[in-house]
Amino acid sequence: MRVIARSTLVGFWSAHPETKVALERWYKRVRAAHWTSTDEIQRAAPKCKALNRERVRFEVAGGHCRLVVAFDFPRQAAFVKFIGAHADYDRADAFTVSLF
């Protein structure tokens, strides 16, 4: 899959270096994947949570941060919509939040 907004991930791990390894690992895993549904994502990453048919929430860096990604399965694209600490996530609406 193509990951859209990798620069958002880089910006976040630059500000929070403790997340760099986990985010790089997540990025490589998604780039290598060819998922066609949120069910496939959940089988590959059991700790993630499908929010709806397109958005998935991942816990990153040992659960310290949350990452919301919208998937366009026909185009094989993953759009980073949100990354932040739990407190930031709690203030955001995961179904509508968008960094773009």
Domain that holds residue 51: 2-91
CATH number at 70 reads 3.30.2310
Position 74 scores a pLDDT of 97
**Residue 93: which pLDDT band, with cuts at 50, 70 and 90?**
confident
Q: Is residue 67 in some structural domain? A: yes
- The count of structural domains within the chain is 1
Q: Is residue 98 in some structural domain? A: no
Provide the Cα torsion 83, 45, 69, 39; round to 10°. -150
Q: Is residue 97 in some structural domain? A: no
Task: Read off the pTM.
Answer: 0.91
Q: Is residue 96 in some structural domain? A: no
Is pLDDT at 100 greater than 80 in this prediction? no
DSSP of 71-85: EETTTTEEEEEEEEE
* pLDDT tens-digit readout, 19-57: 999 999 999 999 999 999 999 999 999 999 999 999 999
* pLDDT tens-digit readout, 6-22: 999 999 999 999 999 99
